[in-house]
Amino acid sequence: MTMDIRDLRIIDVDAHITEPADLWTRNAPAAYADRVPKVVEIDGALQWVVDGVPIGRAMGSSVIRRDGEKVPGFGFITWGADDIAVGAYDMTARLDVLDELGIWAQVLYPNTAGFGAQRFGEIADPELRRLCATLYNDAMVEIQEDSGGRLIPMALMPWWDLDASIAEVERAAANGLRGVNMCSDPHLRGVPDLGERAWDPFWAACAEHHMPVNFHIGASDTSMTWFGTSPWPSQDDERKLAIGSAMMYLSNARILANLVFSGVLERFPTVKFVSVESGIGWIPFFLESLDYQLHESAPSVVDTLSMLPSEYFRRQLYGCFWFENNALQPAIDALGASQILFETDYPHPTCLYPDPLPRVEEAITGIDDTTVRMLLQDNAAALYKVPLPATIG
């Protein structure tokens, strides 16, 4: 590598917004103003409440304190908005953070709804449930526009309703959002699973509107259960956080396998899918195992798929790296440089803060300039339709 990566417009494809307390209430229809998500104090603790029902603690969801210090460990779980960096919830301040870190643009994911909006699936009233998704998406459109396109939120899908999901893909695209954030297990709420043909009109809408489909780790009750049950009960909270976090990366393997073997990738060859915050080092082994199992365990499926699982990945799927050093070059060799994206996970545990670029420089040592530019800038710019100002170098 001969370039200075600070001359690139680096795109971070996974960061989170700590939703402000008024995100849903400020634009809610009058009849729903007191029913949409809001923050209420219950037994001395602030909780997010929907229609009078608590759905989770109103925590800061940041390991970065107000003074900018990153604090490892489990202590952040008790922090509120007053304890955390302003850039976690104020998106004007977030732009200042990006400038400080040397990041040009950032893809945003939620906290309150669950990483795949799975918490909204518990709401009984169908119209209220739909409003929870659409009001969030409307607020994300404002954020994207106010940031000049540097903050790129993914649209939440009302995955509990097929027709509503198709309509929301179209509405989000018309409003300028660049991709969708999908729950991985809608069948847990009585909806067909994502491999069933009932979802084909949804995938077709994503193809028509060029909306990549993003599966963030923890995007369903199943993967969050995986996080919680992976550690042995005798482990303390810090050990549980470490083990559960690492294991949750691997939970996205089941999504890759199901997309391939269900035929979704075969039927919709232009739809792009992203495995978000799951790392990349495990993917080459897992794809090799799927290639092997296709013939060993599912010979009747061979004739229904025109490609090997690993070939589908190189055509339509992406993985994201942030802390990995040793795994990066082998993953490039196995997956292709065009299928790898860069993330920081700001401001969550394991995020690359406060020095993401020096950390990345360690990982890319020995990698050529063209590949580096693809990993840090060009792949994400093409996938999420991010206009790039003139770059240097």
- Give the pLDDT confidence score for residue 390 in this predicted structure: 78
Give the tens place of pLDDT for each residue, 307-341: 999 999 999 999 999 999 999 999 999 999 999 99
Ordered by where they begin, the domains of the chain are 5-32+85-383 (3.20.20.140)
294 touches 314 (CB < 8 A): no
Residues 143, 159: Cα–Cα separation, whole Å: 23
180-181 and 11-16: which strand pairing? unpaired
Q: 64 exposed, middle or buried (CB, 10 Å; 0-12, 13-18, 19+)?
A: buried
pLDDT band at residue 278 using 50, 70 and 90 as cut-offs? very high
**Apex CA 199: angle with CA 197 and CA 200, to 5°?**
70
- Start-to-end CA distance of the chain, whole Å, equals 12
What's the pLDDT at 223? 81
Neighbouring C-beta atoms of residue 333, cutoff 10 Å: 10
SS3 category, 80: coil
pLDDT digits (tens, 9 = 90+) for 125-141: 999 999 999 999 999 99
Query: Which residue type sits at 101?
Result: L
Instruction: With a cut of 90, say whether residue 392 has pLDDT above it.
Output: no
Residue-wise pLDDT for 340-356, tens only, equals: 999 999 999 999 999 99
| Average pLDDT estimate for 118-130 | 96
pLDDT (0 to 100) of residue 78: 92
Q: What is the average pLDDT score of the chain?
A: 96
205: CB partners within 8 A, 6+ apart: 166, 169, 170, 211
pLDDT, tens only, 368-378: 999 999 999 99
Q: What's the confidence (pLDDT) of residue 393?
A: 47
Residues 176-181, mean pLDDT to the nearest whole number = 98
* Interval 293-302 mean pLDDT: 96
Average pLDDT over residues 210-218: 97
According to DSSP, the residues that pair with 64 across neighbouring strands are 70
- For residues 139-149, average pLDDT: 98
> Each residue of 219-274: pLDDT tens digit?
998 888 878 899 999 999 999 999 999 999 999 999 999 999 999 999 999 999 99
- Both tokens of residue 262? 């269900």
pLDDT confidence of 391, banded at 50, 70, 90? low
**Count of Cβ atoms closer than 10 Å to residue 198 Cβ:** 12
